[in-house]
């Protein structure tokens, strides 16, 4: 038996593992073909152990990885008991560990010369199209997986001996729109996974597989210690947080409230999140896959903890997330649809957890992050009049949604909870070059911030339309009736809205979901949600409020009525009048 590694050796190997994941991500970003990958960066890479536990992530979208890669690897083992070097598996099945069908995931088992499996590397990327019945990867109105229409791959072998299994590729090419684009993205994902495989084998050459497995055990123990410590710094208590989703097809007429019961045991250093007391699955695309249910609860917890705690299976030992079979925010059985599982309900779960924790006494938790997905984050499709070619792609034209926390103002461009601001935003010129469109306006709206001691994000407005021709935009916009709530006295952030502006300038309100055509000379106007504020706005530093006014985030009227700050004609704080107003 080899001796234990010390803290220095552990740090060394951790850096090496993270380096492998960064190398994978870099490859995927720079070689991907669809905008959602190479401009939006809507993808994640990670390493799981041979025991199917999450070991290393870097640079990833939280909703993609915290839980899911573990279950997807389990499915690979279950269906393919004998793994060989050169294998690659495609998994996008929400019934087998994937987040939702749009996130095609390539898993490559890393096998040594003796044929022994040691780790699995995972590359997951949101696709521009997956062959749904409509040209969008988000199908909130789908009754079930059949109406949704995507090809579902429950850990299906797509490479053997490092060669593609062409049958599978041909099936995809017959079903997925713009097959060449999909094929390019597939190549990029395979490339990323193969680079991870090569690097791990190289790492083992230097250190030996035994040492890497020893690292894995000790790293999990270390992470668990850090997690327990972080929880011990919080007060014990049991709270229930809620968050309400807007009415959608298949949901009750007044929307659906998600409830999360959070129990913090500071003495033991453990947290329980119970999601079992929620509605049953619904005939809609909003049901959560088990991966997303688990992960969204974790996001709410990690948003409330010391960020230095490593995110891996070791830390997760201190978390008990209770889910129910057949629950809309639990384990969704086939054939219920999980089409929009990474965004809408998942965001509500994480919001319920973190706003619940915020009701504890102390600087914990976070306000509500705004809801997705406005049309400015929609899936656009059509025929490009310049080339006569069909195109389909998720655009990332504008978003905000960030919530204020106990330590500061919101990260404006958070997009939604599961994304946490990791995605890129399309440049105007790149968007107009790659799609036949014009982006008339993109800006933040005044007086839409979640007011508070710390400010939630302001809503964004994006106005765009076709240049020549027409296009369709698919989206599923929550947050119009239930805009993001503040916590600890913080205010509500701006609500979402969407209109069509006709060629004679008339504005028509659009349904919050659907695939909507935008005609020649028409403009789609998309307003995203803002984010909730933290603490009473009356406690916000008056000079900072003056700066907010000077910079156009809030009006001087709002500074006075909501923040209790009176400004003089030159924009400086009128200290006496402010003190008077704030005393009331």
Between residue 202 and residue 231, which ones bind other proteins under the rule CB under 8 A? 222-223, 225-226, 229
Alpha-carbon distances, residue 133 vs 139, 142, 146, 355, 389 (angstroms): 9, 9, 9, 37, 20
| 527 exposure class (CB count in 10 Å sphere: 0-12, 13-18, 19+) | buried
Dihedrals φ, ψ of 555, to 5°? -85, 160
Q: Which of 278, 287, 339, 405 binds other proteins (CB under 8 A)?
A: 405
Handedness of CA 50, 51, 57, 61 (dihedral sign): positive
> What whole-number distance in Å separates Cα of residue 420 and Cα of residue 411?
9
Q: How far apart are the first and last CA of the chain?
A: 71
Between residue 518 and residue 537, which ones bind other proteins under the rule CB under 8 A? none
Between residue 9 and residue 38, which ones bind other proteins under the rule CB under 8 A? 9-12, 15-16, 18-19, 22-23, 26-27, 29-35, 38
> What whole-number distance in Å separates Cα of residue 425 and Cα of residue 415?
10
Could you give the string, one character per residue 255-294, with x where binding to other proteins holds by CB under 8 A and - elsewhere?
A: ----------------------------------------
> Is 427 an interacting residue with respect to other proteins (CB under 8 A)?
yes
Write out the two tokens for 160.
């053997």
Between residue 324 and residue 383, which ones bind other proteins under the rule CB under 8 A? 366
Which C-beta is closer to other proteins: that of 129 or that of 148? 129
| 152 exposure class (CB count in 10 Å sphere: 0-12, 13-18, 19+) | buried
Which C-beta is closer to other proteins: that of 155 or that of 227? 227
Among 94-102, 278-286, 298-306, 480-488, the segment contacting other proteins (CB under 8 A) = 298-306
Cβ-contact 183, 166 below 8 angstroms: no
Q: Which residues contact 132 (CB under 8 A, 6 or more apart)?
A: 101, 139, 142, 148, 149, 150, 339
> Is 441 an interacting residue with respect to other proteins (CB under 8 A)?
yes
User: Around Cβ 284, how many Cβ atoms within 10 Å?
Assistant: 26
Q: Which of 103, 409, 478, 501 binds other proteins (CB under 8 A)?
A: 409
Among 327-335, 410-418, 476-484, 561-569, the segment contacting other proteins (CB under 8 A) = 410-418
Which C-beta is closer to other proteins: that of 82 or that of 387? 387
Among 6-14, 155-163, 237-245, 558-566, the segment contacting other proteins (CB under 8 A) = 6-14
Shortest distance in whole angstroms from residue 437 CB to other proteins: 9
Q: Which of 135, 378, 382, 402 binds other proteins (CB under 8 A)?
A: 402
> Is 516 an interacting residue with respect to other proteins (CB under 8 A)?
no
User: Around Cβ 551, how many Cβ atoms within 10 Å?
Assistant: 8
> Is 189 an interacting residue with respect to other proteins (CB under 8 A)?
no
> Is 556 an interacting residue with respect to other proteins (CB under 8 A)?
no
Shortest distance in whole angstroms from residue 566 CB to other proteins: 20
């Amino acid at each position: 038996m080899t001796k234990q590694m010390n803290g220095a050796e552990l740090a060394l190997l951790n850096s090496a593992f993270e380096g492998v994941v960064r190398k994978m991500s870099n490859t995927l970003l720079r070689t991907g073909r669809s905008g959602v990958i190479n401009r939006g960066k809507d993808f994640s890479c990670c390493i799981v152990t041979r025991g199917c536990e999450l070991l290393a992530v870097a640079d990833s979208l939280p909703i993609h990885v915290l839980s899911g890669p573990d279950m997807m690897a389990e499915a690979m083992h279950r269906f393919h008991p004998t793994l060989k070097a050169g294998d690659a598996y495609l998994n996008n099945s929400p019934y087998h560990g994937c987040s939702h069908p749009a996130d095609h995931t390539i898993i490559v088992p890393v096998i040594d010369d003796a044929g022994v499996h040691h780790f699995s590397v995972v590359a997951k990327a949101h696709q521009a199209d997956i062959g749904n019945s409509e040209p969008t990867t988000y199908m909130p109105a789908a009754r079930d997986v059949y109406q949704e229409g995507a090809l579902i791959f429950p850990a299906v072998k797509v490479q053997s001996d490092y060669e593609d299994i062409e049958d599978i590729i041909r099936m995809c090419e017959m079903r997925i729109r713009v097959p060449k684009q999909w094929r390019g993205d597939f190549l990029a994902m395979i490339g990323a996974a193969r680079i991870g495989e090569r690097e791990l084998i190289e790492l083992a050459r230097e250190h030996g597989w035994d040492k890497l497995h020893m690292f894995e055990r000790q790293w999990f123990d270390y992470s668990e210690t850090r997690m327990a410590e972080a929880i011990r710094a919080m007060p014990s208590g049991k709270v229930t947080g809620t968050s309400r989703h807007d009415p959608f097809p298949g949901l009750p007429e007044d929307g659906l409230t998600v409830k999360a019961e959070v129990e913090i045991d500071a003495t033991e250093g453990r947290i329980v999140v119970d999601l079992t007391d929620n509605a049953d699955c619904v005939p809609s695309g909003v049901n959560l896959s088990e991966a997303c249910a688990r992960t969204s609860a974790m996001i709410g917890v990690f948003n409330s903890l010391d960020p230095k705690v490593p995110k891996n299976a070791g830390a997760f030992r201190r978390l008990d997330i209770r889910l129910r079979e057949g629950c809309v925010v639990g384990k969704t059985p086939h054939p219920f649809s999980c089409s929009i599982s990474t965004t809408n309900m998942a965001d509500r779960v994480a919001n319920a957890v973190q706003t619940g924790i915020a009701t504890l006494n102390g600087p914990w938790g976070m306000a509500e992050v705004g809801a997705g997905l406005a049309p400015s984050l929609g899936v656009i499709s059509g025929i490009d009049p310049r080339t006569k070619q069909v195109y389909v792609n998720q655009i990332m034209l504008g978003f905000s949604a960030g919530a204020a926390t106990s330590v500061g103002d919101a990260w404006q461009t958070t997009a939604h909870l599961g994304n946490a601001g990791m995605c890129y935003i399309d440049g105007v010129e790149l968007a107009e070059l790659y799609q036949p469109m014009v982006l008339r306006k993109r800006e933040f709206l005044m007086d839409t911030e979640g007011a508070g001691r710390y400010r939630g994000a302001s809503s964004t407005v994006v106005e765009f339309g076709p240049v020549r021709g027409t296009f369709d935009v698919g989206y599923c916009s929550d947050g119009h009736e239930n805009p993001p709530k503040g916590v600890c006295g913080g205010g509500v952030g701006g609500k979402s809205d969407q209109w069509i502006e006709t060629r004679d300038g008339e504005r028509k309100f659009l349904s919050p979901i659907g695939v909507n055509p935008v005609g020649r000379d028409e403009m789609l106007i998309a307003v995203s949600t803002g984010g909730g504020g933290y603490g009473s706005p009356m406690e916000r530093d008056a000079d900072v409020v003056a700066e907010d006014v000077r910079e156009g985030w809030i009006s001087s009227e709002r500074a006075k009525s909501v923040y209790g700050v009176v400004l003089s004609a030159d924009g400086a704080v009128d200290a006496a009048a402010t003190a008077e107003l704030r005393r009331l």
